[in-house]
Structures are given as structure tokens and as C-alpha cells.
Amino acid sequence: MLLAAAIVAFLWIAKYLLLLLFAGILLAVLLRTLAGWVAQRTGLRLGWSLALVALVLFGGMVLSGILFAPRLAEEVRQLSQRVPEAVSSLRDQIQQTTFGGWILDQIGTAGGAQQQEQQQQQVQERARIAVRKVIDGIVAIAIILFSGLYFAAQPEPYQRGLVRLLPQARRRRAAEVLFAGGYTLRWWILGQLLSMTVVGLLMGIGLTIIGVPMAFALGVLAGLFEFVPTIGPIFGLLPALVLSLAEGPQSALYVLALYAVVQTLESYLLTPLVQHRVLELPPMMTIATQVLFAWTLGPVGLLVAVPLVALMMVVVQMLYVKDFLGDRLEIHAEEEGRHELEASDAFGDVPGV
């Protein structure tokens, strides 16, 4: 009992670090997947393929930064100015209507001056908080990158270590669960990257055609927010919608139509390409999980909520529903994970696997 309480207490205290390590595992899964693809087609050893993949990705990021960073930085700077202006303009338009003016009065527009004065008094405190968050963000990125590279380069010691914690009679099943979980994460992250790329390109091109300012930055934001299922695309729409409302209601309708078309293509063309390979999470479960993780664990929890729950569902279905309850359940990830385990030599020196 005391041991269980100590473990729970440790997990809660180290929750932020564990989430960062899980994000590193996602990165490692992506790197190993790309390295395996390169190794199969070039004949290179996996280690050299991983180094090549890391070098290409790093070079691509540097080249993209050289080509697009100046334009993106300028548009983001303009966006940070135009969005508050558009919100203020929209607020003024609502204020001019009878019903809208009444609503704004009810939510306390009179407190605006007092709030502004309080904000001015808290400028230094907010600056210190911003600096601290920037430092925390840099540290978090460093942990994710280094842990991802280490996990990708040598995952076997960690896999063997986890399996050796169990009795020999359970090790084979534990190894199957590990590989099934890796298969699920692999196809989840590949699907998200595909969605991010396509949605970002289509939104950027569509917003350019519509004539919404800063379309390049808005397209990049839409692609980045696509990483967070269900909730992310809505947040990716908001900046473009606010700017289009400042241009006029017709422009806003065009943006909504573009968003509907892009999300329809993503839902009915892109998602089915990978959905049959991973567990399908019910929408309400996805939203509830994201809200819970964001509320208790912060932004990092929101980012990793869906893949973490997908992984947990694989574990629950394999170990509880099938093994404990005895239900007959076909799990695609289980079959694929078993095939990958049989082709792997990661547990060659582990008794019971």
C-alpha cells in the first residue's frame, strides 16, 4: 500500500518531465520510422539511416528558416498587431447594435479603464513571467530533442529494461504490447503530420485567393494547430476568421467555406488513410481527455493527450479486455506488433520472450 502511494506521488511530482519524455518517444518513433524506410530502400544500416534522416531534417529546418523565416516573422508581427485591432473593430461594430451593446454592457465594459490601469502596473511582472516561460520552453524543447534522439538511436535497452521488470511468464505478452503501442504511435504521428501539411498548404493557398492578409502565417498556424485533434483546428481558424470579419461579412463567409472544405477533405480523405491502422477514439472522449490534460497538466498535456490515450487504449484492450475478461477482440495493432516483434532481435537475451 505504501509502495503504491509512493509510486503515485512520484508520478504526480514528475508528471511534467514524464510528459516531455513521452513527447521525446513520439519524436523517436518518427525518426525510427523514417530511418527504417531509408534503410529498406538504400541498404544502409539502421544507425547510418538514422543519422542521415536526422541530418536531412536538420538541414531542411535550417533551409526553411533561411527561405521563409523572414517572411513568416514579419507576417507574425503584423498578425500580432492586426488581430487585436480587428477584435477592437469587431467590438465597436457589435457595440453599435442594440442587442450587442446591451450584451457588452452586461459583461462589464465599464471596468475597461480600471483593467487597463491594472495591466500597466503589472507590466514588469508579466515580463518576468514571459522570460521564465521562454526559458521553460527552451528547456522543454531540449529535453524532447535529446531524449528523442537517444530513444531513436538505442531503444532496445529501455524495452528490455521494462520487460525484465515482469515475471518471465508475462514477458512475451509485455513485448507484444510494447510493439503494438509503437505501431499505434507510429501511424498516429504519420497521420497527424500528413494532415498538418495538407491543411496548412490548402488554408494558406485558399486564404491567399480569398485575399485575407498574412495568409502565409495563417496557413502555418492552421497547420501547426492541426497537430491537436478536434480542438486545434478550431483555434487555427480563429485568427483568419477575425481578420476576415474586419474585411467584411462576405470575406468571413468565404473563410468559413474554405475551412469547411479543408476539414471535410481531411476528415474523409486523409484520416481514413491511417485510421484503420490505429484505434478510433470517440469524439467526446477525445475532447474530454484534451480538456482534462490541459487543465491538470498544461499545454504539454494538451499536445500529448490524444496519442497517450490511444496508447493506453491499446494496453487496456490487449491486457484487460482480451486477457483478463476473455473477450474475442481483433486489434490491428496487436497483429502488426506481433509480426514486428518476431522480426526483431531486441529481446534475444531476455528469458521468456
Domain ranges of the chain: 12-150, 166-346
Q: How far apart are CA 194 and CA 217, in angstroms?
A: 19
- The residue with cell 523514417 is 34
What is the reported pLDDT for 111? 46
Low-confidence ranges of the chain (pLDDT < 50): 109-115
**Residue 159 buriedness (CB in 10 A; 0-12 / 13-18 / 19+):** buried
Taking Cα atoms as reference points, which of 205, 200, 213, 221 lies closest to residue 245? 213
- The CA-to-CA distance between both ends of the chain, in Å, stands at 30
What is the reported pLDDT for 127? 63
Q: Supply 100's cell numbers.
A: 450587442
Residue 337 neighbours by CB under 8 Å, 6+ apart: 176, 177, 178, 179, 180, 181, 182, 183
What is the reported pLDDT for 182? 94
Q: Supply 347's cell numbers.
A: 529481446
What is the reported pLDDT for 69? 79
Please report, for the chain, how many H helices and E strands are present, in that order.
Answer: 15, 0
Q: How far apart are CA 43 and CA 339, in angstroms?
A: 21
Q: How far apart are CA 104 and CA 99, in angstroms?
A: 9
The answer to whether residues 306 and 229 touch, using CB atoms and an 8 Å cutoff, is yes
**Reported pTM:** 0.84
pLDDT per position as a tens digit, 110-124? 444 444 555 555 556
